[in-house]
Structure 1
Amino acid sequence: MNTLFSTSIFKKDIRSIFRELGKSKFAKILIQIFKEFSIPVILSYIVLIYYPNTESTKQSSVSNAERYFAYLFFISWFTGNLNRIIKQKKTEKSFEDLKVKTEDLIKQLEEASINTIGHLTGGDSYPQITLLACLNAEKNGDMLKPFFYISSNGVFPIYNLKIMITCYSPHGTIVFDQVQEIDILHQNNQYSIDGVLPFYPEDGVKMITYIVTRNALFFQKNRIDIVDGNSVVATKIFKLIKKDEYSVLYKYIDPSYNGMSDEQIFGTGQFDFSYCQKI
């Protein structure tokens, strides 16, 4: 009974010793050495045994030892480099995967940032004023006085719009001058502008619009004419980049204006910043 008890205690002590050794740095080094060299040692021994050993190639025990260590060195070098290459390829693949994930994350962050900034500032959205004239069927085809509405081109809302519309008759006199404010303009929303033109545009109307928003300044030129009882329109929208420099955001010219230059259609007048002070 005492012998069995002593044996069990001894086994527990041995296990605890090995467990403690396994936790030590030295034991980890020995384990790593075993992993690195166990296969080369075994392969070297196998090669030594099966190496042809005829009468003409018999070697002494010292020579066999030399051969063994030569095999061991070569196989260790080969397996070591093979392991290094395998680990390197795994590391490279990990880096490639990490690079792809990082690029995807950066792209997502950029898209999220652009989306957030766009919702705060209006992004690349821009407003458009439309001058519309239509026929009134109840009045036997008489032309109704034109009216205006504003819409948004773009996915982001536009904030704090201040609009000044000025229309000119064919003789160059101002026939409509209206200022209006809109807090927010969403995509696919349309808002009517107060007022209508005080005359029928049979001879054509030219319009210049200034629109100040939270973070941008837009200009628009329009022309509307009546051709064979139908209204034809030309539109050109600009955005101020810096003083006296504009970018064209939108341009539409009805085919009825073919053969006419932009100056002939819209006029040669330049944008006047003093108008913006009024709004």
Structure 2
Amino acid sequence: MATRVATPRSRALGFGIRTARKARDLGVRELARLVDVTPQELSHWESGTRVPRIDQVGLLLGALRVEPVERKRLLELAEYAREPNWLERTVPGISPRLSAFIEYERTASAIFAWEPLLIPGLLQTPDYVRTILAAAGRPREEEQLRVKVRLLRQEVLTGRDPSPYTVFLAETALRQRRGGPEVMAPQLRHIVEVAQRRNVTLRVLPDNEEFHPGLNGSFVIFDFADLPPIVFLEQYRGSAYLYDEEQVADYRAAQRVMAMLALSEQDSCALVREVIADLEA
């Protein structure tokens, strides 16, 4: 039996179908009966492990009375759902790209993140988020929306069934004085506090002359209980998802190399506290 693989677009398509179904308060069996498919097939579509034909997507959207704008988006996803990697421009507000990323965070069985320059989104305080957005020249209304979304995303670490989260930070990210001590000191205290949670592992890579693959840029690895892992790469004006087995293996290997160079959890928190003390001196 072939391995079931959900590409970024197929998973986003499935999420959109499931969201529309729930908005109409329909069960899987009920919707499957309306479009003349088996419940198992519809479940595969919603998980992204199989991709419906364009005409099948049209039937689904018609049965669910999906609005024109969302209908167009889902049909476009269906057309290119089998493409392995997803590269899209960043757009204001909660874009389809961000929606897909949030869905990956929400459904992941474990998350690994490496960040060489910034504090990762799941650890950011509101003031830190505002500082970054202000520097990027974001409109005030967009800033407020993104702060709200960022805080909602962090519930994956603090909810009833929190995701295991391993984060590697470069010492450089800790010592950046973004927003000044009044922003960075509370931000770093928040990191130490979150690191005490049983589901969170924080390790710092100290600044030195050691070369490691993480110097090439940040990345996130999402693991799932019943699907292959996906790697997320963020760039200035877009992002990319990788699910090819060999590519994912390369990023796993990079994670192992950095793990050998990173400080222990205890020493990492001690270093963060030292940076806080320097900021407040």
Greater share of residues in strand: 1
Task: Name the larger-Rg structure.
Answer: 1
Give TM-score scaled by structure 2 length: 0.20
Larger RCO, structures 1/2 (Cα 8 Å, 6+ apart): 2
